[in-house]
Amino acid sequence: VASCIVEQCRADLFDLQSIEDAAAIAGNLAIPIVAALTQKVAAANPEAAGFVHWGATSQDILDTGLVLQLRKAVAATGVLIQRLGDAVSFQTRAHQRTILAGRTWLQHGSPVTLGAKLAATLTALDRDRARIREMGNRLFAIQFGGAVGNLAALGTRGVEIAAGFAQELELSMPATPWHTQRDRLCECATVLGIANATAGKLARDVSLMAQTEVGELNEPAAAGRGGSSTLPQKRNPVGCAIALASAVQVPGLVATMLSASIQEHERGLGNWPAEWETLPKIVVLTGSSLAAMGDVIAGLEVDSARMSANMAITRGQIFAESVQTALAPVLGRGTAHKLVAELVKVAQKQRRDLSAVIASDTRVTRSLSERAMRDLFDPHEYLGSTDAFIRAAL
C-alpha cells in the first residue's frame, strides 16, 4: 500500500497551477496537494488511497517540507559564507600591510591596514558559521503531530511512525510537535539576519571606500555591470547595492517572524501564513547578499596609492594620536592630549603640516628626539597589534 502512495509522490505528476488556485480557497497548499495525491493514488489503487495523509495535518506537511528546504538553503548559505570567507581571507593576507586611514565617525582617526579591516569581518563570518552549525541541531527536525499535536489518529503507534518518518528524511525527532512553538524558525530568521548584516556592513565599507572622492576600492569590472541609463562614465558598485538592499529589508522581516511566532493554542490563526513568504524572503535576500559580496571581495580592485594619498589629506593630523602617545610618558596622557589638540588647531588654522608645527614647538622638541619625531609620522610605526589581530583572525 505504502509503495502505491510513494509512486505518486513525484512533483512532476502534479499540475502546480491548479493546486495554487485551490490553495487560495482552501487556505493552505497542503489541502489541494493531499486531494490531488489521493485522487492519483485512487486511480492506481483505491484501497491505498484510503491511507494517504493518515494521521497528519496540513501543517505537518508544510512545516516538514519547509525544514527540508531550509536544510538545503542553510547549507547553501553556509557555502556562500565559506566562499565570502575565503575571499576575505585571501585579501586579508594580500593586504595585511596595505595601509590606509582608519575612520571613526566617518573621519580620519589613525592609520590601519586593509588586512585588519577585513580580519574583523572574518571573525564575524566565523561566528555566523558557528551559529548556523548550532542552529542545525534544533532546526532540522520533522514536524509530525496530527491535528492537535498528539498524533491521536495513529493510536499508540504515533511515536514509532514519527521516528520512521524522521529517519526516512534524515531529520531529527523533536521531543514534541512544534506547530505553535516557532522558535526554531525564528532562530533561522535571526541567524541568517545576522549573517546578512555581516555582509551588509562589509558592503557599506566597500561602497564608502569606492566613493569617487575616496577611490581606494572598486568592485570588479564586468561588461554591462554597473552602468547607468544616462551617465556614460558610471561604474556603480552594484554588488554592494545588492547587499545594502538586503541589509535594509531583512530586519523588518525578522521582526515579522518574531511577531508571527505568538501562535494560539495547538495551531494559530493567521500568524502561521505570515511566515510563508517572510522566511523564504530572508533566505533569498541573505543568500544574494553573501553571494554579491563574495564576488565583490574576490575581485576587489585595491588602489593603495590612493590610500596613501588620502592619508595625506589632513597634512599629518591622522598621526595626532601617535604624537600624543609619544608625548604621554613625558607629559602625562591628559596634558599630551591637550597639547596635541592645540597644535592640531594651529596646523589647521595655518594650513601647515602637523609635523612642521610639532617640530617648531619647544614643549615637543624638549621631549622627543628628531628621529623620534620623524617616526611619529610613519604609519608603519603606529600599527600596534595589527599583525597579532590578523593572525588571530586567520
Q: Please state the closest distance from residue 351 (CB atom) to a second copy, in A.
A: 12
Angle between the N-to-C axes of helices 30-44 and 16-26, in degrees from 0 to 180, rounded to the nearest 10 = 130
Of the residues 155, 168, 362, 371, which one makes contact with a second copy according to CB under 8 A? 155
Site string for a second copy, 185-224 (x = CB under 8 A): -xx--xx-xx--xx-xx-xxx-xx-xxxxxx--------x
The residue among 73 and 319 lying less far from a second copy, judged by its C-beta, is: 319
* Site for a second copy contains 269 (CB under 8 A): yes
Of the residues 314, 357, 367, 376, which one makes contact with a second copy according to CB under 8 A? 314
Q: Are 237 and 210 in contact (CB under 8 A)?
A: yes
Q: Which three cell numbers, joined as nine digits, stand for 106?
A: 566617518
Instruction: Give the pairing of strands 301-302 and 107-113.
Output: unpaired
* Site for a second copy contains 57 (CB under 8 A): yes
Query: Nearest Cα to 190, choosing from 263, 257, 120?
Result: 257
- DSSP, collapsed to helix, strand or coil, labels residue 9 as coil
Query: Nearest Cα to 327, choosing from 319, 316, 318, 339?
Result: 339
Q: Is position 10 annotated as part of the catalytic site? A: no
Contact stretch for a second copy (CB under 8 A) within 74-82, 122-130, 359-367, 368-376: 122-130
Of the residues 88, 114, 132, 250, which one makes contact with a second copy according to CB under 8 A? 250
Q: Which three cell numbers, joined as nine digits, stand for 49?
A: 488511497
State the distance between the two ends of the chain, measured CA to CA, in whole angstroms. 56
Contact stretch for a second copy (CB under 8 A) within 9-17, 164-172, 293-301, 331-339: 331-339
Query: Nearest Cα to 81, choosing from 135, 138, 126?
Result: 126
Q: Which of 127, 133, 157, 228 is catalytic?
A: 228
Number of residues that bind a second copy (CB under 8 A): 178
Site string for a second copy, 36-55 (x = CB under 8 A): --x---x---xx-xxxxxxx
Q: Are 88 and 116 in contact (CB under 8 A)?
A: no
Of the residues 2, 12, 252, 351, which one makes contact with a second copy according to CB under 8 A? 252
Contact stretch for a second copy (CB under 8 A) within 2-10, 70-78, 143-151, 361-369: 143-151
Q: Which of 267, 289, 322, 367 is catalytic?
A: 267
Q: Is position 228 annotated as part of the catalytic site? A: yes
* Site for a second copy contains 365 (CB under 8 A): no
CB neighbour class for 211 (10 Å; exposed up to 12, middle 13-18, buried from 19): exposed
Cβ neighbours of residue 145 under 8 Å, at least 6 residues apart?
Answer: 57, 60, 151, 176, 177, 179
The residue among 70 and 243 lying less far from a second copy, judged by its C-beta, is: 243
Q: Are 293 and 199 in contact (CB under 8 A)?
A: yes
Contact stretch for a second copy (CB under 8 A) within 8-16, 64-72, 73-81, 376-384: 376-384
